[in-house]
Amino acid sequence: MLGLFGGADPKITAEHVAAFQKALDAGRIRNQLLIYQDAPHSFFDRAFTEYARASHDAWTRVLAFIKDG
């Protein structure tokens, strides 16, 4: 499970991500959850040049995750 979250998303907080990770770990589900601190919800869009660094990192992680599957 790969999860990429915007840290500035008011609907999915760091506490939600931590609880999600705890549940995944309890279920022994391999996971990598990342929070991009200042990025909003749906930051993963190359149209948002302000979040280009987070988007590039997220895309790199998605490709690696698929490759390592």
Token pair of 42 as six digits: 């749906």
pLDDT tens column, 7-30: 999 999 999 999 999 999 999 999
Q: Residues 11, 43: contact at Cβ < 8 Å?
A: no
Domain that holds residue 26: 2-68
The per-residue pLDDT for 47 is 62
Helix (H, G, I), strand (E, B) or coil at 55: helix
Q: Residues 41, 9: contact at Cβ < 8 Å?
A: yes
Q: Residues 40, 6: contact at Cβ < 8 Å?
A: yes
Q: How many domains does the chain have?
A: 1
Mean pLDDT across 51-55: 89
Q: What is the pTM of this model?
A: 0.83
11/41 Cα distance (integer angstroms): 8
